[in-house]
């Protein structure tokens, strides 16, 4: 986490450092990220950087925290189209709102996703707590779906969690990769064509887990 000296900086200076770090991780990932470039692009000295953060992992974790808070605030103003959605429709809604959020913060999302998903840090010890929070939420959804008869009861819950978590991350990576090529990523994500693509990607996951009509038929 950032040191108090960073939190005491004027907002404009803090934002300049954050912007430089976002650009660095988005462009170079974590392994190749350079503190020298971050300080040069934010207009601070290297000595000042270490007064604000322990190392580049410290500044990256701060970006994750900032993005997470922004996402939570974004979702507070969103509501499902109906309170009668089944688990898969609700999950589809969550994913699409998440994609809308990502398109509103493309550079920071690109930076965080590149490091966590492409480089795989999401699955390492540094972000174990973050991953557990996500998988615990998915596990709760799956168990509830089983109680409601929406998910095949023979499905292994642990494997189902892995499928939904991995599939969501894959969709995020795909949409960001394609979206960053667009002139207007927000408009592109909201387009009927992109929404259809998300539906098709989710369809593959959903019908591997959903309880089908044939399973209701008694032999």
Two tokens, residue 175: 């949409």
Residue 126 predicted with pLDDT over 90: no
pLDDT for 212: 61
Whether residue 9 is found in the same domain as residue 90: no
Whether residue 10 is found in the same domain as residue 112: no
CATH of the domain at 192: 1.10.357.10
Asked if 59 and 82 touch (Cβ cutoff 8 Å), the reply is: no
Nearest CA to 96 among 215, 194, 213? 194
| DSSP string computed for 77-106 | T---S-TT--HHHHHHHHHHHHHHHHHHSH
Whether residue 117 is found in the same domain as residue 40: no
Q: Which residues pair with 210 in a beta bridge?
A: 151
Could you give the number of structural domains in the chain?
Answer: 2
Q: Which of 37-51, 82-96, 201-215 is the most confident on average? A: 37-51
Q: Is residue 73 part of a domain?
A: no
Q: Which residues pair with 151 in a beta bridge?
A: 210
Total-model pTM: 0.81
- At residue 218 the predicted structure's pLDDT band, cuts being 50, 70 and 90, is very low
CA distance 200 to 90: 15
Residue 173 predicted with pLDDT over 90: no
Whether residue 168 is found in the same domain as residue 132: yes
pLDDT for 214: 41
Domain that holds residue 201: 78-216
Whether residue 134 is found in the same domain as residue 28: no
């Amino acid at each position: 986490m950032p040191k108090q000296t960073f939190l005491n900086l004027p907002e404009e200076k803090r934002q300049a450092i954050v912007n430089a770090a976002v650009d660095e991780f988005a462009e170079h990932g974590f392994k190749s990220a350079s503190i020298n470039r971050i300080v040069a692009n934010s207009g601070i000295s290297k000595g000042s950087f270490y007064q604000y953060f322990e190392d580049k992992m410290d500044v990256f974790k701060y970006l994750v925290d900032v993005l997470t808070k922004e996402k939570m605030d974004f979702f507070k103003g969103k509501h499902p189209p109906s309170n009668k959605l089944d688990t898969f429709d609700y999950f589809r809604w969550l994913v699409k709102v998440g994609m809308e959020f990502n398109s509103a913060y493309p550079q920071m999302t690109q930076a965080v996703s590149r490091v966590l998903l492409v480089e795989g840090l999401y699955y390492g010890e540094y972000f174990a707590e973050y991953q557990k929070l996500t998988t615990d939420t998915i596990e709760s959804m799956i168990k509830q779906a089983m109680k409601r008869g929406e998910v095949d009861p023979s499905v292994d819950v642990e494997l189902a969690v892995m499928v939904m978590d991995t599939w969501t991350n894959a969709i995020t990576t795909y949409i960001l990769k394609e979206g960053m090529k667009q002139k207007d990523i927000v408009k592109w994500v909201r387009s009927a064509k992109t929404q259809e693509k998300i539906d098709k990607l989710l369809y593959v996951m959903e019908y591997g887990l959903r309880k089908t009509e044939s399973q209701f038929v008694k032999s």
